């Protein structure tokens, strides 16, 4: 289940940068989540809550600097809940409310958060000639795989392969990894 939080001003300045229809986007991303579950043969993914936060470049730069140590605006970040659980435990914080067993038995278990830079998504979609929704879908699939433990920076191509399969199944343009390779 997708929960979208739009933290941008979402003001249209040109027709090419029309406001995002968050209801339509939520529907599309829920479909992407279901299709990802099919491709990955993980039926329980669809029951997990994925928070998708839309931010502007300034906010993304601040987040990227704070959490990744990189002082520039990136296109997408992902924060798996399991990583947050580990950090809470290692910092000796009270994480009883984040107990893994309790979360696993909850009706809708959170998987994590995906932060998408709406400014860069808009720019890429315009440069590549496809819709902003398609670009957000591509970024979502890329980040979802990170939430599920895939990492293109250190795996043997599994992330790239699964991303390509899901993107193809969704009928989206070439994936993020393929564009950057």
Whole-angstrom distance, CA of residue 42 vs CA of residue 119? 32
Token couple for 97:
């409310």
- The domain spanning residue 146 has which CATH number? 3.40.390.30
pLDDT tens per residue, range 120-167: 999 999 998 999 999 999 999 999 998 988 876 766 678 888 889 999
State mean pLDDT over 16-36.
84
Give me the domain span that covers residue 33: 2-179
Q: 89-124: b or e for each residue (b if 16 or more CB lie within 10 Å)? A: eeeeeebeebeeeebeeeeebbbbbbbbbbbbbbbb
What is this structure's pTM? 0.80
Total of domains in the chain: 1
């Amino acid at each position: 289940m997708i929960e979208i939080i739009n933290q941008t001003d979402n003001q249209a300045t040109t027709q090419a940068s029309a406001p995002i229809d968050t209801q339509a986007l939520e529907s599309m991303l829920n479909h992407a989540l279901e299709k990802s579950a099919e491709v990955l043969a993980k039926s329980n993914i669809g029951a997990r809550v994925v928070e998708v936060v839309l931010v502007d470049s300034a906010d993304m730069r601040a987040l990227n600097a704070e959490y990744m140590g990189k002082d520039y605006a990136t296109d997408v970040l992902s924060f798996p809940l399991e990583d947050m659980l580990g950090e809470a435990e290692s910092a000796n914080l009270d994480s009883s409310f984040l107990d893994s067993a309790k979360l696993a038995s909850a009706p809708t278990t959170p998987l994590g958060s995906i932060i998408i830079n709406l400014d860069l998504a808009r720019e890429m979609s315009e440069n590549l000639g496809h819709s902003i929704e398609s670009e957000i879908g591509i970024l979502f699939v890329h980040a979802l795989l990170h939430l599920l433990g895939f990492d293109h920076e250190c795996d043997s191509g599994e992330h790239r392969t699964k991303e390509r399969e899901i993107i193809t199944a969704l009928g989206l343009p070439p994936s993020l990894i393929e564009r950057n390779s």
